[in-house]
Structure 1
Amino acid sequence: MNKAPVIGIDLGTSFSAAAVLSNGKLETIANLEGYRTTPSFIFYNEENSNISVGTTADDQSIRCITNFFYDVKRFIGRDYNDVYVQLIKNDENYRFNLTNNGDDVVFKFKHNGKLMTKTPEEVSSEVLKYLKNSASEYLGAEVKEAVVSVPAYFCNAQKKATRKAAELAGLKVLKLITEPVAGALHYFRANPKIKGKILIYDFGGGTFDVSVIEVKGKDFNVLNVEGNSFLGGRDMDNLLIDYFKKILKNKYGQQIITPRLIRRLQKQCVLLKEKLSIHDEYWVVLENINGSEENFELSITRKQYEEIIHQLVAMSMDSVKKCLRDLNITPEDITNVMLVGGVTRTPLIRSTVAQYFGASKIKTDVNPDETVALGAAYQAALLIKQCTKKENIRVTEVTPLSLGIETRRGLMSRIIEKGSKLPLIRDRIFSTIGNDQSSITFRIYEGERSQTIYNNYLGQFTCDDLPKGKAGDVSVAVIFILDCDGILRVEVKVLSTGRKTKFSVTLQEYRLCENEIKCKVEDAEKNRHDDDVFESYVNIYSSVKRVINHIMYGLENIPSIIEKEYVKRKCSELDEYIEQTNSNSSFDEILEKFQAFHKVIKGIVDDIDVDFEEALETITDVIEEYE
């Protein structure tokens, strides 16, 4: 076999595709059955070793519902306790058996006569193997390398899991490209004269992304990304399924709803969704509905369908508006709007986006099902220098989420802000919080909230052998070095000694887990207020703790043993009190406690280097701000 070119792969929630740049032309690779896109379906045969993918898996699904897997991308990189995983686990529309192996999500089923478990990465790898084999067959050479697309709003854990799935399929991943950037690259190659700020509205089968990309000549600069990794066409399908299930229950009773019927209903609802993009009304038939020859007609108008899905479209526009708002730009600043993903054929989506940006800006002259795979293939060709010098495009992506360190009381101190261009280096100085502290453990998080309990934990590292000193006197500079592949290198420099220590922390090792408290959908302004109050509380807490630590560090300057023990006891009482407070505590009460503490010891600690006024000013400023 000859050496095969590098391919581009769009691993989608509902459909996947592969493409290649061959003889100067981008083309989607037909799969082994001759189709240009492959349903992301996998079926494991109960009795033998056969594994089916795509339409064949779909055809086999009715034989054993629990062995038929779809929407696997929605689980990839997620923790078993993630609220979204639990929602699907308890949804009767999903019939496969979800369980856990420690914190990991696994699918449990019988295959080849044996009971087994597989991770989402292992199941997804079957789709990638199928695309790899299809491409190898088409190109006449074994495909070994690929550029694989991921949603722009995927966190590091999800990106890592996607890369692992590709490796399990026997593919070396040259790059993970975000889906909106891939779509924009393909569009740019076909329309090289475009320029300005382009908005990519990417409504896929399982995820929604919006990106603003500024095109200047050959430079592609991603300015901002927003999205929802649990909003997609599948949610429209599920709303339709629930709509017809209610009708079926009313006519035939609850007993009519069986796993096999739900699977049949799913297939027909997908068809209805697609047909309603073309027709004002459509109907399909469920044959032999009640174990007899009776048929049931599923009939719906486009107007009824739009009433069912309008809230999902509104949610996508919320992300669009936030993306623009964060950049401080308006719809008028956008020169082109590109629609990506088969769901964007939905008339309600097109009319809503057109109404917001202006119909003339909406670009529909690319195939939304194939453009991501084609863009990934173009990126692959650029990476291996397969393109001409004229096509030397430079792509700069950004971080979808902020990265930072957890400090006192779970406060997130951001080091790399959301939307920062990659690659980059950022640093921040942190100080010891205890007297003679010998080490500091830094916990890394990603997310936008000030409280780390609402963000994603990524990993930790420890800086040891710190010099002795009073709390706050020993400082270290934490340097984050983030490369284009999402790998974080950390350097810590102890400022008083100049000693530098390097750490290698792979951000993508830790699975996403959004528990219920993290997933409360709250008003953005309320979140901001809560975070502001929390930050103010941590400032108060830190100021009080600093005073206590400084007094304790200088106790030897008090000559009287009796007075020394008295001060120590008062410090212990205040410390016990402040440790029991939180952001909901009365700031006035904290001020009263601190003033009382100051009053009884101020004459005794005159020879100790401690700044009461700074702490008092911090507390009173916060109280005045929130009066």
Structure 2
Amino acid sequence: MAIIGIDLGTTNSLATLFNEVGVKIVRNALGNALTPSVVGLDDDGNVIVGEIAKERLITHPDMTVAEFKRTMGTDRKYKLGKDTYSSQQLSSILLKKIVADAKDYLGEEIDEAVISVPAYFDDKMRIATKQAAELAGIKCERLINEPSAAALAYLSRNHWKDGTYMVVDFGGGTLDVSIIDSFDSVMEIIAVAGNNQLGGKDFNEAIYRYFLLSNNLLEDSLTAEERAIIYRMSETTKIALSTNPIAVMTVVIRDQEYSLTLDNNKLIEIAHEVFEKIFTPIKKVLKDSRLRPEDLESIVLVGGSSKMPTVAVYIEKVTGVKPCTDIDPDTAIGIGAGIYSGIKMKNQQLKDIVMTDICPFSLGVDTHDYNNDVIMSFIIERNSMLPCSNMRSYYAIHDNQTVVDFKVYQGESIIPENNIYLGTISIGCPPTNKGEFIATVRMTYDINGILLIDVTNVNNETVSKTLIDNNVRLSEKEMEAIKKKLDKLRFEKDTNDEVKLLISRAERIIEESVSFERERLINALSAFKLTMAKGNSIEKRRTMEAFARFLDACDL
């Protein structure tokens, strides 16, 4: 039985295994390291995950879902065919596919997974991630923060070199910034900050909005398919600017061609709000760690969005330090999760490596001050080392008080309502006069960053809860019901994934094309399908290779 590491990303996901030769990157059924975090249904109602599903985002937007990680732990529902699914349910489908591919690639059973999460994921999001693993039938005892995983990958590659590092993990949907101190093979997280709603997707949207504005297009006048085409081309333009000084975005809508020429300077201008948001957590971690940029050994960039040259240029501008970009940003977190799985397995190669992590948020309850104003009472301060446990005592706010209600919050504001509300925990008590001791609240944050609360009254009676919000913590009955729903979904196994991917890609390019080019593509697709249905194995392989080259030429 093996323990694998999984980078469960907003845009792409990746699995790894630590063995006797180090970290091994798992290849999916198509032979690729990265699996797009996209889930959909094909025309027969079978589940499709990854590259094939991604190609159908444009042609079948009502049957395909992406970027669901950004709403993990919320009550947001996504429509997929006739049914609706939560983020954790969609993530469980993605995890099931990743684990199945890992089992096939490695040739052994997968017993457990270490899954990466953004450091700034709150308690609800972490619980939802573990539930997604449970729904997928995979054991997940340990979550690892993404920048911590990236630091493991970086330090492993650099032979655990001593120093203080800033890790900027800028992915498709989230941004995390961590300060990490490495000394004598001990990796200590000092400070963490981030934004769960900031990522490469925001650049896509900035380009998308600017394209509409420049071409006098009204979003409401476009169909869902037309909006999807423009959005995909916006992403393609962003990626092109990672390697080219100028990119031309061309979209055909209702037989009319619209275009936009963009360079990196213009991208900085139209996405200035995104860049400003990048600086906020950088400034925060430096302040919390009481460090200056010149105190850092290096700034390490990881995450797919860090491949954008404008991101590196901007970070160098605001810090004065040229970031390190010599580690693969797409695989660093997955590699780190794999290393951590090796630590968990007590692999002899990693027996001397120690990693500590911290609580990214402050946690507390509402209380009353001397003026009877409701304020935040902080019990666990942000950047406390995990696991941690703290307790505070509280007093009656009026005479003959017999019940005390504690509203639990996560955040840094003295005004409770400005923080994230996690729920309420109540306990009864004998009649107590104003100002007298009434109860204690103990908060314990485990190594995964998941909260346990104990409230004890004056009679030493205790109420404990692992998670306050019942909308996130599902009962066993609810979990079983969801599992049965997911088990009804059929994963297509008998068809060739390469063939399905080429067909889906051709259908997407046809959707984006016009007139003569569209007719040429339709004819080529028909011929391809005919060969796949009636040709021999040699003809099929040659036709697949030729059709792939043809699509490459069309998909510029």
- Fold shared, TM-score > 0.5 on shorter chain: yes
Name the counterpart of 1:384. 345
Name the counterpart of 2:245. 280
Residues 253-273 of structure 1: per-residue CA shift (max 9 Å, x gap):
778622212212222222211
Name the counterpart of 2:300. 338
Q: Select which of 72, 78, 91 maps to 1:107.
A: 78
Name the counterpart of 2:510. none
Distance 1:508 1:148 in 2: 23
Check the 8 A contact 1:431/1:475 in 2, yes or no.
yes
Q: Select which of 222, 228, 236 maps to 1:271.
A: 236
Distance 1:473 1:511 in 2: 34
2:223 maps to 1:258? yes
For 1:20-35, list aligned pairs within 5 A.
20-35=17-32
Name the counterpart of 2:126. 159
Matched to 1:383, the amino acid is: K
Distance 1:193 1:254 in 2: 51
Check the 8 A contact 2:77/2:84 in 1, yes or no.
yes
36 and 413 in structure 1: CA distance in 2 versus 1, 3 angstrom threshold = same
Structure 1 residue 295 displacement after superposition: 4.1
Check the 8 A contact 1:136/1:142 in 2, yes or no.
yes
Structure 1 residue 227 displacement after superposition: 0.8
Name the counterpart of 1:393. 353
Check the 8 A contact 2:404/2:427 in 1, yes or no.
yes
Q: Select which of 277, 282, 288 maps to 1:326.
A: 288
Structure 1 residue 439 displacement after superposition: 3.2
Distance 1:491 1:506 in 2: 9
Partner SS for 1:31: coil
Partner SS for 1:269: helix
Structure 1 residue 44 displacement after superposition: 2.0
141 and 226 in structure 1: CA distance in 2 versus 1, 3 angstrom threshold = same
Check the 8 A contact 1:281/1:301 in 2, yes or no.
yes
Name the counterpart of 1:136. 103
2:48 maps to 1:52? yes
Q: Which runs of 5+ in 2 are unaligned?
A: 473-556
Distance 1:442 1:315 in 2: 33
Q: How many pairs does the alignment contain?
A: 468
Check the 8 A contact 1:121/1:165 in 2, yes or no.
yes
2:64 maps to 1:68? yes
Matched to 1:49, the amino acid is: G
For 1:536-547, list aligned pairs within 5 A.
none
Q: Select which of 165, 168, 184 maps to 1:201.
A: 168
Distance 1:214 1:254 in 2: 48
Name the counterpart of 1:506. 466
Structure 1 residue 375 displacement after superposition: 0.3
Name the counterpart of 1:435. 399
Name the counterpart of 1:348. 310
Check the 8 A contact 1:339/1:363 in 2, yes or no.
yes
508 and 347 in structure 1: CA distance in 2 versus 1, 3 angstrom threshold = farther
For 1:481-520, list aligned pairs within 5 A.
481-492=444-455, 499-507=459-467, 509=469
Distance 2:468 2:438 in 1: 28
298 and 43 in structure 1: CA distance in 2 versus 1, 3 angstrom threshold = farther
Higher relative contact order (CA 8 A, sep 6+): 2
Structure 1 residue 510 displacement after superposition: 5.5
Q: Select which of 9, 12, 36 maps to 2:9.
A: 12
Check the 8 A contact 1:331/1:356 in 2, yes or no.
no
Matched to 2:312, the amino acid is: R
Distance 1:61 1:75 in 2: 19
265 and 290 in structure 1: CA distance in 2 versus 1, 3 angstrom threshold = closer
2:272 maps to 1:310? yes
Distance 1:290 1:315 in 2: 33
193 and 118 in structure 1: CA distance in 2 versus 1, 3 angstrom threshold = closer
Of the structure 1 ranges 454-463 and 202-211, higher mean CA displacement relative to structure 2 is found in 454-463
Structure 1 residue 166 displacement after superposition: 1.6
Structure 1 residue 364 displacement after superposition: 1.5
492 and 509 in structure 1: CA distance in 2 versus 1, 3 angstrom threshold = closer
297 and 199 in structure 1: CA distance in 2 versus 1, 3 angstrom threshold = same
Structure 1 residue 507 displacement after superposition: 3.1
TM-score in terms of structure 2 length: 0.79
Name the counterpart of 1:183. 150
Structure 1 residue 139 displacement after superposition: 0.5
Structure 1 residue 108 displacement after superposition: 2.8
Matched to 1:143, the amino acid is: I
Bigger Rg, which one? 1
Partner SS for 1:279: coil
Name the counterpart of 1:90. none
Distance 1:165 1:57 in 2: 19
Structure 1 residue 449 displacement after superposition: 1.1
Distance 2:219 2:287 in 1: 47
Check the 8 A contact 2:73/2:126 in 1, yes or no.
yes
Distance 1:221 1:501 in 2: 37
Name the counterpart of 1:121. 88
Structure 1 residue 49 displacement after superposition: 2.6
Residues 98-119 of structure 1: per-residue CA shift (max 9 Å, x gap):
xxxxxx2212342xxxx22211
Structure 1 residue 488 displacement after superposition: 3.6
Residues 381-404 of structure 1: per-residue CA shift (max 9 Å, x gap):
11111243x543222111111111
2:478 maps to 1:478? no
Distance 1:158 1:59 in 2: 28
Structure 1 residue 451 displacement after superposition: 1.7
Distance 1:265 1:430 in 2: 56
Name the counterpart of 1:423. 387
TM-score in terms of structure 1 length: 0.71
Distance 2:457 2:71 in 1: 41
Distance 1:478 1:174 in 2: 26
Structure 1 residue 492 displacement after superposition: 4.5
Structure 1 residue 215 displacement after superposition: 1.3
Name the counterpart of 2:504. none
Name the counterpart of 2:547. none
436 and 128 in structure 1: CA distance in 2 versus 1, 3 angstrom threshold = same
Name the counterpart of 2:327. 366
Q: Select which of 25, 34, 37 maps to 1:37.
A: 34
Distance 1:217 1:281 in 2: 46
Check the 8 A contact 2:190/2:383 in 1, yes or no.
yes
Residues 202-258 of structure 1: per-residue CA shift (max 9 Å, x gap):
1110011111111121222111111111110000001111111223335xx778622
2:391 maps to 1:453? no
Distance 2:85 2:452 in 1: 32
Matched to 1:299, the amino acid is: T
Structure 1 residue 133 displacement after superposition: 1.2
508 and 37 in structure 1: CA distance in 2 versus 1, 3 angstrom threshold = farther
Partner SS for 1:165: helix
Structure 1 residue 123 displacement after superposition: 1.3
Distance 1:7 1:125 in 2: 16
Distance 2:317 2:93 in 1: 41
Check the 8 A contact 1:412/1:450 in 2, yes or no.
yes
